[in-house]
Structure 1
Amino acid sequence: MNLGIFKRSKEIIINSPLRGEIKRVEDAPHEVFTSNVIGDGCAIEPTDGIIHAPVSSKVEIFKTNHLLIFEPKKGVYVVIHFGVGTSPLKGEGFTRLPKGELKEVVVGDELVSCDLDYIASKAKSLMTPIIVSNDNVQSLELLVKPGDLVEVGTPLMKVKVK
């Protein structure tokens, strides 16, 4: 009898939450992202201002709407930080799309609308790092390369969980 169907998947596919151009996370203009202190990943130079859920999971959207944290597996976190230097905007230029408090999302759900023109005029950069924490991650494989143009839902990374 094969009980393999009950095995929990050890891989997670992280999809693109934005439409835009892939950049190396090391090119993000802030040392928090370039130092890999939080984890590894990639960045997107967005051409569209709607952030979608990159995975089906638990979610926390910060009050300022510029920072979203997903937990697709216990101890694995996917962090989306829209732009660099956006924290001081205190949420201006960002609109949460679902009303009320969210606890869980399905991949592709529209979560936050970002006014690209406003944010670009006030923040250091629109480049948006997408970081996977290294806490419970065995390996991370980028499925895209710098310069690639991606649509929402394009697979960005394959994560193997410990």
Structure 2
Amino acid sequence: MSLKDMFKKNKEILIYSPLKGEVLDLNEVPDNVFTSNIIGDGCAIIPEPGEICAPISSKVEIFKTNHLLIFEPKKGVYIVIHFGVGTSLLGGKGFERIVELSPKKMVEAGDKLVSYDLDYLKENAKSIITPIIVSDDNVDYIELLVDPGEKVDAGTPLMRVILK
């Protein structure tokens, strides 16, 4: 591997789908916090039954309510998975943590982290549409590897992030 290839590899992050479901454009999320790109850019998924899996090998923080997971694959680069809209108001109901992690614990891409009761969440949350956001000022661009409307399995390559 040449030095140029190594440098290029450090400027690129591959994100795998954390969920099984249908990929949507981020502006399909029924919450302007996500559609306004305040947090960052990315895509969303309408989840099918299953688990939230790690989209990348990195440090992770899982919020107490288990609906929000934040991964930090490189210092200052964050991948945010916010399961559904209005799910924070459920106080953790509908979610069950599969693994107990110490703060900022490392996980491997594909590790199952949180299971969810999709029927309960459909009935009690505003939406189950789940944004997957890349948040960092050093992002040059994000390439979606799956077209909106297509289905993905957890672990399918979903986005390529190119850093400045």
Normalised by the length of structure 1, the TM-score is: 0.94
Instruction: Assess if the C-alpha contact under 8 Å between 2:49 and 2:117 holds in 1.
Output: no
Taking the aligned partners of 1:25 and 1:115, their CA distance within structure 2 comes to 23
What are structure 2's unaligned runs of at least 5 residues?
A: none
What's the CA shift string for 1:25-70, capped at 9, x where partnerless? 1010000000000110000001123000000001000000000000
Q: Does 1:51 align with 2:55?
A: no
Taking the aligned partners of 1:100 and 1:44, their CA distance within structure 2 comes to 25
What's the CA shift string for 1:116-153, capped at 9, x where partnerless? 01111100111000000132211111111111000111
1:122 maps to which residue? 124
Check 1:157–1:3 CA distance in 2 against 1; reply closer, same or farther (3 A cut). closer
Aligned pair count reads 161
Taking the aligned partners of 1:70 and 1:96, their CA distance within structure 2 comes to 16
Taking the aligned partners of 1:40 and 1:105, their CA distance within structure 2 comes to 23
Instruction: Assess if the C-alpha contact under 8 Å between 2:43 and 2:133 holds in 1.
Output: yes
Instruction: Assess if the C-alpha contact under 8 Å between 1:40 and 1:134 holds in 2.
Output: no
Taking the aligned partners of 2:33 and 2:6, their CA distance within structure 1 comes to 39
Q: Does 1:99 align with 2:100?
A: yes
% same residue: 63
Normalised by the length of structure 2, the TM-score is: 0.93
Instruction: Assess if the C-alpha contact under 8 Å between 1:85 and 1:123 holds in 2.
Output: yes
> Which ranges of 4 or more aligned residues in structure 1 deviate by more than 2 Å?
2-8, 99-102
Taking the aligned partners of 1:3 and 1:147, their CA distance within structure 2 comes to 38
Check 1:99–1:28 CA distance in 2 against 1; reply closer, same or farther (3 A cut). same
1:145 maps to which residue? 147
1:73 maps to which residue? 74
Instruction: Assess if the C-alpha contact under 8 Å between 2:58 and 2:108 holds in 1.
Output: yes
| SS of residue in 1 equivalent to 2:10 | coil
What are structure 1's unaligned runs of at least 5 residues?
A: none
Structure 1 residue identity aligned to 2:98: L
Taking the aligned partners of 1:6 and 1:26, their CA distance within structure 2 comes to 34
